[in-house]
Amino acid sequence: MSKTRLALKQVVRRYVPLPLLRQALTWRSRWFARRHHPTPAREVFSEIYAKNLWGGRESVSGPGSAMAATRNVRAALARLVRQYGVRSMLDAPCGDFNWMQTVDLAGIAYVGGDIVTALVEDVSRRFGGVDRRFVQVDLTGDRLPSVDLIFCRDCFIHLPFKSIHEALANFLRSDAKYILLTTFTNHPINFDTTSGGMRALDLCAWPFNFPEPIELIPEEHVGPPSEPRKHMGLWSMESLRPLLRGR
């Protein structure tokens, strides 16, 4: 994001009343949906993968999937699956499995899912095994594997609101007990985007309004202190069920 756009957003957040800003964002999202016919997500993310458009040197899934960027989440995930009795998990999008392969998931039935066909074929060949399989899946509508935990990192930040709501409704239809999602703090206003775009999202703010998570795992912060802080938030599916049923 350019410095000019960032400065403009900071001014808007400071001086525009929150209810008015939320209404304006709702109108903008509806206008955008009617006016634009976005490229299907599978095509968008397949091109990003094929051309390494996120510019990751270590991982085609982008700089956020490098080992240094996942230090905290790797340690926390190994602890969480045991602390909460997780015996199976869906990791979607799994990307190129660059960092997840180092996490101690002994005894956990792991399913990696991604929307990109070529990526799923590659990781299946390289990393598939008895307790580790990979499937092509669109989180917004495909039937999800039956698991205890859905781990969904750095996904919603690249999706429009409509797709996020569809994915959340799909999570609700699954048998999952917990979901672990990327969320940001110090970020009271969420903006919409198109598939493949990128912005910070606070799942506890409008238009998601999640309750406070059971746990909040801080990730590595590389920007100035004033920028939103990235975390992985853990929620029980039961705590979200009343909220998601109304969508």
Over residues 191-205, mean pLDDT: 92
143-177 pLDDT tens trace: 999 999 999 999 999 999 999 999 999 999 998 99
* Band (10; pLDDT cuts 50, 70, 90): low
pLDDT of the residue at 227: 80
Average pLDDT taken over every residue of the chain: 87
Report whether pLDDT(20) > 90. no
Report whether pLDDT(35) > 60. no
Pairing of strands 229-236, 178-185: antiparallel
- Secondary structure of the chain in the HEC alphabet? CCHHHHHHHHHHHHHCCHHHHHHHHHHHHHHHHHHCCCCCHHHHHHHHHHHCCCCCCCCCCCHHHCCHHHHHHHHHHHHHHHHCCCCEEEECCCCCCCCHHHCCCCCCEEEEEECCHHHHHHHHHHHCECCEEEEECCCCCCCCCCCCEEEECCCHHHCCHHHHHHHHHHHHHCCCCEEEEEEEECCCCCCCCCCCCCCCCCCCCCCCCCCCCCEEEECCCCCCCCCCEEEEEEEEHHHHHHHHHCC
Q: Which residues contact 161 (CB under 8 A, 6 or more apart)?
A: 29, 190, 192, 207
Which residue in this structure is represented by tokens 């991982």?
A: 59
* Band (141; pLDDT cuts 50, 70, 90): very high
Percent of the chain scored above 70 by pLDDT? Answer: 83
**What single letter denotes the amino acid at residue 126?**
R
112-134 pLDDT tens trace: 999 999 999 999 999 999 999 99
**What single letter denotes the amino acid at residue 72?**
N
Report whether pLDDT(105) > 80. yes
- The more confidently predicted of residues 104 and 29 is 104
Cβ pair 220, 71 in contact under 8 A: yes
From the list 146, 94, 89, the residue with the least C-alpha distance to 120 is 94
